[in-house]
Amino acid sequence: MKFLAPLPVFGDKSVVKARISGTSAAHIYFDGFIFNFPNQAPILVAEGTILQSPGDTV
């Protein structure tokens, strides 16, 4: 996680966006973002990985 600005306080409007940035046989890679609304100024950028355990079904 990389904080680019302070998190919004109660009453501020923000937008949360997430996208799948890649996949492999056992991994799903994703990116997450939080933006101020309406000017779309970035607040937070994050990357993550989901690992499929053996025996799990998709």
Q: What is the pLDDT of residues 9-44, one digit of tens each?
A: 888 899 999 999 999 888 899 999 999 988 889 999
CB contact at 8 A, 38 and 13? yes
Strand, helix or coil for residue 28? strand
- Residue-level pLDDT at 18: 95
Locate the domains of the chain by residue range.
2-45
Q: Would you state the structure tokens that stand for residue 44, as one six-digit string?
A: 């937070």
Whether residue 42 has a cis bond before it, omega within 30° of 0: no
> What is the value of pTM for the model shown?
0.72
- Residue-level pLDDT at 57: 66
CB contact at 8 A, 32 and 21? no
